[in-house]
A and B are shown apart, each in its own frame.
Chain A
């Protein structure tokens, strides 16, 4: 038998369970044949008409099972609700009787277990719970420890319910296979919901979106990250697009299209406001969305125990990790020139060994691979510093220097800026950054790049750090004397033309991180950069050729590289 580890009596929060389960259920007024978890007839909120006590339960709400089963009688919305309450009450009764420590479990866990019990019915539960109890893994209520119900996804992934499903997948009993498959699916969803609901930003989402999110995450796993990120950030249009992207032509995924349509309708009905629109209409109190303050207790379990507070370009931020080694590795991706401080941070980043990244208490990303996770964290930290820096303006650009000549190449990801910077560095230019041109109030461009590293390649939207030989990153700011507007075209020859400085300023502005939030300072910074610069533009072919041509242009103006360093 499963052992309970809590002795103090608790309560079952039926209301919360009801809300949590119905959040994921659609009601049916007429009988329907379903295949999940096994072929059966259902009505109402997933009520199985084949369960042994179906007749008795239906008669309690004035319905005849046979008439319902034959499709002659519908169930009204009120009866549906009543029937669900009866089902839930029986599930609670069954759970208390069958699962040791059930009352002491947290409300989310009780809800998730009750969902399984409601879904499987008492007969199905007896079978599957028998199997669960035979598993050689311990169970727990509070405090959490590896359990076949919820915790330790890594261990459970191989030893828990999914493991159970795999173990008996080859069973000759089709019913047994169906039940184990079903509990495996439900387990995944319940665990995911439990995980989400521990996340403060999830709790802030509207219920309909929570339901969609849980379902999408359950069905598509990590592929739902884009959707989750957009939803957590309340960018509903992006969330809708992300859902559409998850829905190729194969039939099972048509659900994503439906969910995208639901989102669209919610946006159209004004129930969800896109953050972009929110910003535009910030002055209109009817349209202004208030973000709830994060309750520390809601995400305290996600706060790493190891921390540092650092300052970079005037931004004071806290970095936390749940492992000292991870924190030490994460320090390497902090912006150049950061220093530890003992001040109150106004930004917080948390990274976990399981790849979870949180920012200001909200879910931001999950990247399982450690290196990729650190790169993602680095991108987030750099971007946040770029957004918050009070006295510097950050424009996405590559920057190198030749003598005292700063060369700025505006361009964000996928524009080939990094490649061109790399070639320039190989040819002897001094590396400043392949990520941002950091402009101070006087128009000087500051170095911003981790020493000797340039990102290369893209996989899953992330760059990979690569060491560039023969370069020492500069530590001194510099005046820009050349702004190069260029884009890669296969086979193109580098034939740049001189453009106006206003065109150069516009290109910088387009790439300025704070252009929309602080347009005045962004425009001034762009102007100051081009004030002393020659602006060249043209398509380029291979980076090497273009880099040589750029250096020749600099040389013509009297700036030459130290070839011995190359």
Chain B
């Protein structure tokens, strides 16, 4: 089973409370990973499988976390170029389906808090 590995080269990171700010030196983007996304990113060390990541998130975020949460997180991180191996970003339909399943299972408000999110900004010259 492939274990996703987060990119570390060309990044400067800073953990502030339970979020992570990632500065991408290659394209001058600054990304803020919310808590669920930070957890996924932190444990993407090439040793934890997706199932193990689910277990970690359940432990950290509670029973409402599941595989969809992990997959959403991996998709977003991969789309921002923050995953280097062990995971292929899924297509948009699959990603959306994960969101819908999560929302219908825990409700929209909880899903908002639970869904991994990455907020990126490009730094102007």
Contacts and interface: CB of A to CB of B under 8 A. Distances in A.
A565 interface: no
A510 B121 contact: yes
B16 A501 contact: yes
B123 A509 contact: yes
B67 interface: no
Contacts of B17: 500-502
B32 A502 contact: yes
Contacts of B25: 519
Interface string A501-524: 111011001100001100110011
Contact of B32 (A275, A503, A516): A503
Contacts of B21: 502, 505-506, 509, 523, 526-527
Interface range, A side: 10 to 19
A18 to B, nearest CB: 39
Contact of B28 (A501, A506, A516, A526): A516
Given A501-B16, A502-B16, A523 B23 contact: yes
Given A502-B21, A503-B32, A276 B12 contact: no
A510 B32 contact: no
Interface string B22-39: 010100101010100000
Contact of B14 (A275, A503, A516, A524): A524
A482 interface: no
A381 interface: no
A509 B30 contact: yes
B125 A276 contact: yes
Contacts of A510: 30, 121, 123
B19 interface: yes
A519 B23 contact: yes
Instruction: Determine which residue in A275, A506, A516, A527 has the highest number of CB atoms from chain B within 10 A of its CB, and name it.
Output: A506
Instruction: Determine which residue in A275, A519, A526 has the highest number of CB atoms from chain B within 10 A of its CB, and name it.
Output: A519
Contacts of B30: 506, 509-510, 515
Contacts of A505: 14, 16, 21
A522 B14 CA distance: 11
Instruction: Determine which residue in A500, A501, A502 has the highest number of CB atoms from chain B within 10 A of its CB, and name it.
Output: A502
A502 B13 CA distance: 11
Given A510-B123, A516-B28, A502 B20 contact: yes
A533 B18 CA distance: 16
Nearest to A522: B23
B14 A506 contact: no
Contacts of A502: 16-17, 19-21, 32
Contacts of A275: 125
Sort A-B residue pairs by CB-CB distance and give the 3 closest, nearest first: A502-B19, A502-B16, A519-B23
Interface of B: 12, 14, 16-17, 19-21, 23, 25, 28, 30, 32, 34, 119, 121, 123, 125
Given A503-B19, A530-B16, 13 more contacts: A500-B16, A502-B16, A502-B19, A502-B21, A503-B119, A505-B16, A505-B21, A506-B21, A510-B123, A515-B123, A519-B25, A523-B21, A524-B14
25 contacts: A275-B125, A500-B32, A501-B16, A501-B17, A502-B20, A502-B21, A503-B32, A503-B119, A505-B14, A505-B16, A505-B21, A506-B30, A506-B119, A506-B121, A510-B30, A510-B121, A510-B123, A515-B30, A516-B28, A516-B123, A516-B125, A519-B12, A524-B14, A526-B21, A527-B16
